[in-house]
Amino acid sequence: MKKQFILVLVCLFISSVVVGCGSSDSKKDELKTFTPEGKNFSADFPGDPKADSFTVESPYGEQVTDTYIYEGKYTMLSLSSTELPDALLLLDHGIILTNSANGAVINAKGTDQEITDITVLDQPAKSYKCSIKTPEDQTLIIEGHVVIIDKTLYTLQYMSDEKNWDKYKEERETFFNSLAVNK
């Protein structure tokens, strides 16, 4: 289910880039803080993201993921929070983060994968980056950050076509640095 959801997101983004539809071109000065209703976290988006939720059964227990997606003309930003079962939290968090980063790249059928260690909100985290070829021979770039805070895995993901990647560097960095979690 999770793999299908990510593939649908990629397909929706690809069609909007190819056809040129979607929201207006996002700009850094349009970023505003979005806090999901009833949640203790926030991030800055260029507009109002759409919310979705799905549940995955695993050997460790049920995992509920809430996802918030903003689709611009040349960009797509998403923030996901997954409540991790206690049994999964007993595993090494570095392994969980690496598997999450690898899973995101594999599910998107990404190539040229890079995974690096970073810090998010003073917690060990992973950054991943990959590229995807569209059927129209365009290249999309995906960058994501994954971090575990308390019992929650947060995933921030930014996608853009290759030709606009550098244009949105400041927006991308602001988005990744905007995650806030109130304990």
Count other C-beta atoms under 10 Å from residue 68's C-beta: 21
Summarised one tens digit per residue, pLDDT across range 32-71 is 999 999 999 999 999 999 999 999 998 999 999 999 999 9
The two most distant CA atoms of the chain are separated, in Å, by: 46
| Reported confidence tier of residue 183, pLDDT bands at 50, 70, 90 | confident
**pLDDT at position 102, please?**
94
Q: What is the mean pLDDT of the chain?
A: 86
E strand or H helix at 120: strand 111-120
Q: Read off the pLDDT of each residue in 77-104 and give the average, rounded to a whole number.
A: 95
- Structural domains of the chain, with CATH: 2-181 (3.40.1000.10)
Summarised one tens digit per residue, pLDDT across range 123-156 is 999 999 999 999 999 999 999 999 999 999 999 9
